[in-house]
Amino acid sequence: MAILIDGKATSFAMKEELKVKIEAFEKENGFAPGLSVIIVGDDPASAVYVRNKENACAAVGIKSTTYRLPGDTAEEELLALIRRLNADVSVHGILVQLPLPKQICEETVLATISPNKDVDAFHAQNVGHIMIGNYHFLPCTPAGVMALLDRYDISVEGKHCVVIGRSNIVGKPQAMLLLEKNGTVTICHSRTKNLADITRQADILVAAVGRANFVTADMVKEGATVIDVGINRLPDGTLCGDVAFNEVEKKAYAITPVPGGVGPMTVTMLLYNTLTAAKESLK
Ligand code: NAP
C-alpha cells in the first residue's frame, strides 16, 4: 500500500504555522496582510472557491475583501477596480477568480494586476521570474505540489519527473519548479506520442490533465510517487482526480488522493503568497 500524501492535514499544519507568522507580522507592523478577491458573474464552482478563500483568510488572520461583480460587467469597469486596488496600500494581494465572462479578456486583466500584488503569480513578469528562478510568488497549485513533496521527504533531485499537462497555471510552472529542484523533467501533452512509455519512466509523475481516471496502473512504474492535480466531476456529482486511484495506489510508493490531496494546498499557498506580498510592500 502506498503512502497517502495527505494534503488536507498538510495544509492544516501549514495554516497553523502561517497564523503564527501573521500574528507576529501584525504585531510588528501594526497591520494585517490584505487580500482583495474579485469574482465576476455567478459561476457556482467559482463561488465555492471564493468562499473557501474567504474562510481560509479569516482562519489565518488575513484581511480579505471580496468584490462580487455582475456577469455583464464591462472589461473597463473591472480594469478600473484593479487599478484602484493596485494603488491602495492596504491591499497586498489581488486575485481575480477565473474563468471570466466572454466579454472580458483574461490576458488584459492578468496584465493589469500589479506584479507586486499578483498572488496567483499569473502576470507575465512573475512567470518570467519563475523561469529565471528569482521570484517572490510561486503559482499556488505547483507550489502546493512542491510543498507536499517536501513535507513527505520525497526528494526531486536526480529523479525523472514526468508532468502530464502544459497549461500556464499548472503544467508549465510545475515543470519549472521540479527542474529548479534538480529533477530531470519531461512534459507531456495531448500530442505526445507513446505517452504510457514515458510515464512508465517516471519516478515522480504529476497528472494535470482534467480527465477522470486518465492515469491507469499500466502507465505507472512500481514505486513511483504519483501526484494527482486533476479535479473532475463525475456524472453522479462525486469528485475524482486524473489518476485511477484504487489501481495505481497498489503500485505507487506514495500518492495524493482526490479530494484531499493537492486541492487544499492551493489555497494554503495563496495565503503564504499574501503574507509575502505584505512583507514586500514594506521594502
Ligand atoms: P488545461 O488547461 O485544460 O490543460 C490540460 C492539459 O492536459 C493540456 O496541456 C493538454 O494538452 C493535456 N492533455 C489533455 N488531454 C491529454 C491527453 N490525452 N494526453 C496527454 N495530455 C493531455 O487544464 P489545467 O488548468 O492545467 O488543469 C488540469 C487539471 O487540474 C483540471 O482537472 C483542473 O480542474 C485541475 N486543477 C486543480 C487545481 C487544484 O487546486 N488541485 C488547480 C488548477 C487546476 P494540450 O496542451 O496539448 O491541449
Digit-coded pLDDT (tens) for 248-258: 999 999 999 99
Q: Which atom of ligand 1 is nearest to the CA of 192?
A: 20
Unique residue bearing C-alpha cell 487580500? 35
Specify the pLDDT at position 154. 98
Q: Which atom of ligand 1 is nearest to the CA of 241?
A: 32
Amino acid identity of residue 15, one-letter, is: K
Is the N-terminal amide bond of 142 cis, ω within 30° of 0? no
Mean pLDDT in residue range 101-109 = 98
Confidence at 64, pLDDT banded by 50, 70, 90: very high
Confidence at 95, pLDDT banded by 50, 70, 90: very high
40 lines ligand 1 (CB under 6 A): no
How far is the C-alpha of 252 from the C-alpha of 1, rounded, in Å?
8
Mean pLDDT in residue range 118-126 = 97
Q: Which atom of ligand 1 is nearest to the CA of 189?
A: 21
Specify the pLDDT at position 1. 87
Report, in angstroms and rounded to the nearest whole number, the Rg of the chain calculated over CA atoms. 19
What pTM does this model have? Answer: 0.97
> Ligand 1 centroid vs 213 CA: distance in angstroms?
13
Residue 6 near residue 260, CB atoms below 8 Å? yes
Residue range 257-274, pLDDT digits in tens: 999 999 999 999 999 999
The three-state secondary structure class of 139 is: coil
Share of the chain above pLDDT 70, in %: 100
| 2 secondary structure, DSSP code | P
For residue 174, indicate whether it is catalytic. no
Mean pLDDT in residue range 79-89 = 98
User: Looking at ligand 1, which residue's alpha carbon is closest to its atom 8?
Assistant: 165
Unique residue bearing C-alpha cell 490533465? 209
Specify the pLDDT at position 265. 98
166 lines ligand 1 (CB under 6 A): yes
| 11 secondary structure, DSSP code | H
Q: Poorest-confidence range of 149-158, 194-203, 206-215, 230-239?
A: 230-239
Bridge partners for 39 per DSSP? 68
User: Looking at ligand 1, which residue's alpha carbon is closest to its atom 17?
Assistant: 190
> Ligand 1 centroid vs 98 CA: distance in angstroms?
15
Instruction: Please check the confidence at residue 173 and state whether its pLDDT lies above 90.
Output: yes
How far is the C-alpha of 196 from the C-alpha of 173, rounded, in Å?
22
Specify the pLDDT at position 6. 98
Specify the pLDDT at position 110. 97
Q: E strands, the chain, where?
A: 3-4, 34-40, 63-69, 93-96, 160-164, 184-188, 204-207, 225-228, 232-233, 239-240, 254-255
Residue 115 near residue 125, CB atoms below 8 Å? yes
Residue range 183-209, pLDDT digits in tens: 999 999 999 999 999 999 999 999 999
> Ligand 1 centroid vs 72 CA: distance in angstroms?
28
User: Looking at ligand 1, which residue's alpha carbon is closest to its atom 41?
Assistant: 263
User: Looking at ligand 1, which residue's alpha carbon is closest to its atom 1?
Assistant: 167
